[in-house]
Structures are given as structure tokens and as C-alpha cells.
Amino acid sequence: MLDVKKIRNDFPMIKELEKKKAIYFDSAATSFKPQCVIDRVNEYYTKETANIHRGDYDLSFSVSDEYEKARETVRKFINAESSAEIVFTNGASSSLNLVAYGYGQKFLKEGDIILSTEAEHASNILPWFKVAEVTGATIEYIPLNKDGSFDIENLKKVMSDKVKVITLAHVSNVLGYIMPIKEIAKIAHEYNAVVVCDGAQSIPHIKTDVRDLDIDFLCFSSHKVLGPSGVGVMYGKYELLDKMDPFMLGGGSNARFDICGNILLKNPPFKFEAGTPCVEGVLGFKAALEYLMDIGMENVEANDRMLHKYFMDEITKLDNVEVYNKQSETSIVTFNVKNIFAQDVACYLNSKGIYVRSGNHCAKILLNVIGVSETIRASLYLYNTKEEIDYLVEVLKGVTLQKCIEAAL
């Protein structure tokens, strides 16, 4: 069991919202940061500012050392084999684009198939549209069930030797379903396809072991896992990183180059990290992952699942609410109040101090599957409580169109 009271105390934003009696249910968009992360970033600015991998002086040396230790912390967090498989980027979108560009555009060719689903975030599908355009490969979608959930049998039906890449979110940002990534990877590997896993929504909530799951690439953002914005990770198996291209060239990524244009790139992960990275962000990210590991990801996961189940049980009791992802297991509840437009409800909730997100959540093609374009998403994290859920459910019970309009006046 988590000591939620203690945890809430670690988050200045929670205390800030408590003053306003407001509740945050949008952690799927971004998470709050614990004090230790904020302190870590601040410390870099106040006591440790220096560039990395360059100076001959103590300060630069020790910051470089911390930066590399952060890589090791990420390795440990996802149980990668080597920290050389951890590439720091600007975020999940950056990482996903890097895989599509550096691997997809380099190795795919006409006739190849990229498999994905209709529930993907724009950041995990648009880069592959580009790969298809440039290489002549085609994108096909693994059919989803009526409620948007995934069935491994549907993958088996569309799998073939032509499939070179399967790219999907481990946890969908709209419906919160957990994909059976391990089984998917097993099938993919039987056909020599690589699996690109968008971990933006899974890394914060479920303990992820890239070796056990046998994922080829895993992409995620720091800001959704209690860390600073502007930092993300592209994990890749070393032999894949070794043969793929970087997205950017420049300082820090080359070992040497000459006037004739010959470039000798460094080995992974450094060949992908041209230019000065978000150093303070990476150091803060390390603090965030350490914070979670101190609590224990098993405990975070169990708590998120418990809260989610409680949320589902309570909200599905309401007659005036339609829930779209009843089969989901963690963190995200997607719903509408019957006969009221999602945005009107979200604005009403805002007037009651409840922060949720309405919209199509950057997964625009999911509309084809669940049949509604606009939904309200409430997403949870370790600092949320049952009392907050009770309050949301209470407010939803009484929502009417009149009240929604009034909230806008």
C-alpha cells in the first residue's frame, strides 16, 4: 500500500491545487513533479552548471558523470541489458520519429508492410505515414474489437513475411488498454519483424522489462513519469541502434570528420545525441525514476490499478454517463455524459475545480472504431485519491446541460 498522504506532500502542485480545492485528473497529458525532481533541476542551475562531455575541469566532469549515471538509472528502470541502449531525446514524439526516420526510412522498401492500430497517438502514426511515402512501404491496421480493445488472434490473421515493423502503444492514451506486447513481440520475431513500442502511457503505470517483453524499440517521455519536460528516451536493442541512422548530426555525435565530408560517427547511444542536450532535464528525470523505484514500481502499478478499478466501479453506476473503456485496467477512464457535448462537460467540471481533458486526444482515427469523436478523459496517478474520485462522480451525477451553459456565462 502506498502512503498517499505522504506522497501528496511530496508534490508542490498538489498542495497548490488543494488550496484552490481543485483536483487534477489529467496526468496522461503530463504528470506533476515531486519536490526532489524540482530540487535536482534547480541544483544544476545553482551549483553545477557546465556542459557535458567536454570540459577538462572538475565541474564538467562531474556533471557528465551524473548524466551518464542517469542513463544507467533508465537502464535499470526498464531492465535493458546495457546503458548503451538508452538514447536521450526530447520526448516520446522525438523518440518515435527517430525510430521511424533512422530505422524505418533506412531499411523499409516498396512492398513492405508496417502494422499498427487505429488507436495510436499522432506521434506514433504520422512518422510512419512519412516512412510509407518515402519508401513505398504500406501501413496496415490490425483490426480492433468494437470497444477498441486488442485481440492477438487479429494480429495472427494479418501477419505475414512482408510485415517488417509493428508499431503500437503499450497503453493507449485514449482507452488505456494494455497491449499484450510480449505475445505480439513473439509473433513479430517469428516473422523477423521489429516491434516499436510507444511507452508514453505505460512507463508511468506498469513495470516494464524490455528484455522480458523482448521489445526492439521503446519510446517514452520524462514529463509523464514525474520528470521534467523536454526529455525522453529511445531504447533500442544494441544491434538495431548500431545499424540505424541518427536523425541529427553534429557536435558530440561524431568521433572525427574531415574536409572531404567523411564522418566517423561515435557508437550508440552517442551517435544519436548531437548537440547539447537538456542536461538539467536528464538529471531531474533520474531523480524522478529514483523516486518511483524507492516507492517500487510494483506498488505504483498496484495502486494505479486499484484506483482505476474503484473509479470504474463508481462511474459505471451512473445512468447518465457512458463509459467507453470498461475493460481497461489502469489509469485512464474515457466517458461522456449522455446527450451533452464533451467539451461542455469538461468546462463545467473545470468550474467545479476538476481538471479533465475533452477532445479526440490526438488519436483521430480511433473514431472509426468506437464511433464517437469526442470524449472526456480522466486519468489518474499515484497522488490521486478515492475521495477525489468520489467528488468527480458526485459532480457528474448532477450535471445537466443547463449547468454546463451556466458555467460558460
Ligand X SMILES: Cc1ncc(COP(=O)(O)O)c(C=O)c1O
Q: Which amino acid is at 196?
A: V
Selection from ligand X, another protein, none that 408 binds (CB < 5 to 8 A by kind) is another protein
Residue 220 is placed in which grid cell?
Answer: 517514452
Site string for another protein, 362-391 (x = CB under 8 A): -----------xx-----------------
Site string for ligand X, 44-83 (x = CB under 6 A): ----------------------------------------
List Cα–Cα distances, 279 to 75, 97, 224, 267, 275, in angstroms. 17, 21, 18, 20, 11
Instruction: Say what angle helices 386-397 and 297-315 make with each other, to 10 degrees.
Output: 20
Strand partners, 333: 378
Selection from ligand X, another protein, none that 79 binds (CB < 5 to 8 A by kind) is none
Site string for another protein, 296-335 (x = CB under 8 A): ----------------------------------------
User: Of these, 239, 298, 387, 406, which contacts another protein (CB under 8 A)?
Assistant: 406
Closer Cβ to ligand X, 92 or 340, answer by number: 92
> Among residues 96, 125, 116, which one has the least CA distance to residue 218?
96
CA–CA separation, 235 and 209 (whole Å):
12
Closer Cβ to another protein, 13 or 401, answer by number: 401
Q: Which amino acid is at 188?
A: A
CA–CA separation, 270 and 221 (whole Å):
19
408 near another protein (CB under 8 A): yes
158 near another protein (CB under 8 A): no
CA–CA separation, 91 and 220 (whole Å):
6
Closer Cβ to another protein, 46 or 402, answer by number: 402
Check if the beta carbon of residue 360 is closer than 8 Å to that of residue 366: yes
Q: Cβ contacts of residue 293 below 8 Å, gap of 6+? A: 76, 77
| Residues in 211-240 at the binding interface with ligand X, rule: CB under 6 A | 221, 223
168 near ligand X (CB under 6 A): no
Three-state SS annotation for 48-66: CCCCCCCCCCHHHHHHHHH
The greatest distance separating any two alpha carbons of the chain, rounded to the nearest whole angstrom, comes to: 72
Q: Which listed range, 13-21, 192-200, 264-272, 397-405, lies at the site for another protein (CB under 8 A)?
A: 397-405
Selection from ligand X, another protein, none that 200 binds (CB < 5 to 8 A by kind) is ligand X
Which are the catalytic amino acids? 362
User: Of these, 200, 241, 278, 342, which contacts another protein (CB under 8 A)?
Assistant: 342
> Among residues 23, 117, 113, 3, which one has the least CA distance to residue 395?
23
Closest contact distance (angstroms) between CB of 280 and another protein is 28
Q: What is the DSSP letter of 112?
A: -
| Residues in 94-153 at the binding interface with ligand X, rule: CB under 6 A | 121, 123-124
61 near another protein (CB under 8 A): no
User: Of these, 249, 347, 365, 367, which contacts another protein (CB under 8 A)?
Assistant: 347
Q: Is the peptide bond before 269 cis (omega within 30 degrees of 0)?
A: yes
201 near ligand X (CB under 6 A): yes
CA–CA separation, 96 and 212 (whole Å):
21
- Do the strands 332-337 and 375-379 form a parallel or antiparallel pair, or are they unpaired? antiparallel
198 near ligand X (CB under 6 A): yes
Closest contact distance (angstroms) between CB of 350 and another protein is 7
User: Of these, 350, 355, 365, 385, which contacts another protein (CB under 8 A)?
Assistant: 350
> Among residues 209, 210, 216, 212, which one has the least CA distance to residue 192?
216
User: Of these, 67, 360, 365, 391, which contacts another protein (CB under 8 A)?
Assistant: 360
Three-class DSSP category at 233 = strand
For binding to ligand X (CB under 6 A), which residues are involved? 91-93, 121, 123-124, 169, 173, 198, 200-201, 221, 223
For binding to another protein (CB under 8 A), which residues are involved? 341-344, 347, 350, 358-360, 373-374, 401-402, 404-406, 408-409
